[in-house]
């Protein structure tokens, strides 16, 4: 890595899956407000629904998700009962007509921790309360170690058509350090089973920055992963936050690669996936050229939401489950992270929302610029400002913050268009951050850029 890029690589910057980002949400946000936003949805609003399942069979030491390992399935069953109550209550409040859910995504945790019967109960409840569009994309995250032939065919029969699972790294020494043992043979077998069952899209997650990884080892994993031809591959840098995620203490600081090594690892994966025919999408995704994500990136219709890059253009994202964040045209609403508090609110027939934020007009303008940069590597900030009723003078602070990035070659400006050179895609977040009106540089608030 060019040493003049080092200060930017070390900067802690948001991932911009929303703007304002979740750290700006206020505690004590009234659930009534979120209920009103739900009721105010236009009749013809298209919807996207997210369901959070905070359970796993065992913990991976690198995990940054909101999840836990229950001591019995009873906890999961009770959780599903609460989910059904909340979905039903929200369905009654929603102003949108039924049949407009275009995307449904189960994340976690490991949604396939739930039995097919329980997943089926949730699907039926969503369909009854909001109505799935006939062409809806129904996706779930999974753990390949729990996918049997029966499971794969059962999920496909219920209507799931997209699946994503963590591969991370195929090297055994790395897998032992992160407490996630899964052979290349298992992943290949499960991918084959899922295709046979009818899944039209399979996504693998890979990681860099893990203990015992080298640029050579991640390149080998990328090569093996690409050979299995998943339609999409997401590549994430490990964020070591043991003060926040206690199980990450099982990973020793001294085993972790430095920032230059992380940069080399991310670059090696990108190069290998490029050789294998994958198109680079935004910050950290790759897709086969005929995948809708790659086509949306070419057409500059790519979007970004809490699930990362997406083709989803829904008017609102309704999220269910502990810690889940809904996005309305007016702002964001997050449910209680604590499963007990979340389920008690629902049992009391109340909204489980505890945090959130009403966006201002300026937030929406800055959010649109940031999303354009994150998705398309460029944004016409003058045109976007004007569409939102502002002039570029509202962005003077951003233009000042852009100067060091321009001097380092990470961005350039022509007229009112800011661009990020594609070879610097790993620094997209840093350029987007220049347009963040709420950002304060504080250690450990966000993940490091590289």
Contacting positions for ligand SF4 (CB under 6 A):
56, 59-60, 63, 65, 67, 108-110, 143, 166
Minimum Å gap between C-beta 21 and ligand SF4 is 21
> CB of residue 211 vs ligand SF4: minimum separation in angstroms?
15
CA angle 419, 331, 39 (to 5 degrees): 140
Q: Looking at beta carbons only, is 308 or 367 nearer to ligand SF4? A: 308
CA 151-155-156 angle, 5° bins: 120
Beta-bridge partner residues of 309: 304
Q: For ligand SF4, which residue has the nearest CB? A: 63
Taking the least distance from each CB to ligand SF4, the nearer of 152 and 294 is 152
> Least separation, in Å, of the C-beta of 247 and ligand SF4?
8
Closest CA to 126 of 153, 160, 164, 150: 160
Nearer to ligand SF4, 109 or 282 (CB): 109
Minimum CB separation of residue 354 from ligand SF4 in Å reads 22
> Quick one: tokens of 372?
């354009």
Choice between 67 and 359, CB closer to ligand SF4: 67
Q: How far is the CB of 108 from ligand SF4 (least distance, A)?
A: 6
C-alpha closest to that of 155 among 194, 189, 188: 194
Q: What is the per-residue DSSP string for 129-152?
A: HT-EEEEEEEEEEE-GGG--HHHH
Beta bridge partners of 132: 101
Q: Which is nearer to ligand SF4, 103 or 145 (CB)?
A: 145
Cα(259)–Cα(379) distance, rounded to whole angstroms? 28
Measured from the CB atom, the residue of 233 and 333 that comes closer to ligand SF4 is 233
Q: What's the Cα-to-Cα distance from 330 to each of 306, 317, 354, 358, 361, rounded to whole Å?
A: 16, 12, 17, 6, 10
CB 265 within 8 A of CB 218: yes
In angstroms, give the least distance from the CB of 282 to ligand SF4: 22
Closest to ligand SF4 by CB, 107 vs 331, is 107
Distant-in-sequence, close-in-space partners of 408: CB < 8 Å, separation ≥ 6: 4, 5, 8
Q: How far is the CB of 175 from ligand SF4 (least distance, A)?
A: 12
Question: Which residues are CB-neighbours of 77 under 8 A, at least 6 positions away?
Answer: 118
């Amino acid at each position: 890595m060019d040493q003049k890029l080092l200060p930017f690589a070390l900067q802690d910057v948001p991932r911009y899956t929303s703007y304002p980002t979740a750290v700006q949400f206020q505690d004590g946000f009234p659930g009534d407000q979120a209920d009103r936003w739900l009721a105010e949805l236009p009749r013809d609003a298209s919807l996207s629904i997210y369901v959070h399942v905070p359970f796993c069979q065992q913990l991976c030491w690198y995990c940054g998700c909101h999840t836990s390992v229950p001591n019995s399935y009873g906890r999961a069953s009770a959780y599903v009962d609460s989910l059904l109550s909340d979905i039903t209550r929200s369905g009654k409040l929603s102003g949108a007509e039924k049949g407009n859910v275009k995307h449904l995504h189960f994340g976690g945790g490991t949604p396939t921790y739930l039995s097919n019967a329980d997943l089926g109960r949730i699907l039926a409840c969503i369909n009854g309360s909001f109505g799935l569009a006939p062409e809806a994309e129904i996706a779930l995250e999974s753990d390949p170690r729990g996918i049997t032939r029966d499971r794969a065919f059962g999920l496909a029969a219920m209507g799931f058509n997209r699946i994503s699972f963590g591969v991370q790294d195929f090297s055994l020494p790395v897998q032992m350090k992160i407490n996630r043992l899964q052979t290349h043979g298992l992943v290949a077998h499960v991918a084959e089973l899922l295709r046979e069952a009818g899944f039209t899209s399979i996504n693998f997650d890979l990681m860099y920055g893990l203990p015992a990884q080298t640029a050579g080892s991640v390149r080998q994993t990328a090569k093996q992963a690409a050979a299995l031809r998943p339609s999409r591959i997401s590549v994430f840098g490990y964020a070591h936050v043991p003060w926040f995620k206690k199980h990450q203490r099982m990973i020793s600081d001294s085993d972790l690669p430095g920032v230059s090594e992380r940069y080399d690892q991310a670059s090696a994966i990108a190069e290998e996936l490029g050789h294998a025919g994958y198109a680079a999408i935004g910050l950290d995704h790759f897709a086969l050229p005929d995948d809708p994500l790659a086509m949306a990136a070419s057409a500059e219709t790519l979007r970004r939401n809490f699930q990362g890059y997406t083709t989803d253009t829904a008017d609102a994202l309704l999220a269910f489950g502990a810690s889940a964040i809904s996005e309305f045209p007016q702002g964001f609403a997050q449910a209680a992270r604590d499963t007990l508090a979340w389920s008690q609110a629902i049992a009391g027939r109340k909204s489980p929302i505890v945090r959130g934020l009403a966006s201002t007009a300026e937030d929406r303008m800055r959010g649109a610029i940031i999303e354009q940069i994150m998705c398309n590597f460029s944004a016409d900030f003058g045109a976007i400002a004007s569409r939102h009723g502002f002039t570029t003078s509202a962005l003077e602070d951003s233009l000042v913050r852009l100067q060091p990035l321009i001097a380092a070659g990470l961005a350039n400006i022509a007229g009112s268009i800011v661009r990020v050179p594609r070879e610097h895609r790993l620094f997209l977040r840093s350029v987007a951050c220049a347009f963040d009106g709420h950002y304060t540089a504080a250690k450990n608030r966000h993940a490091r850029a590289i």
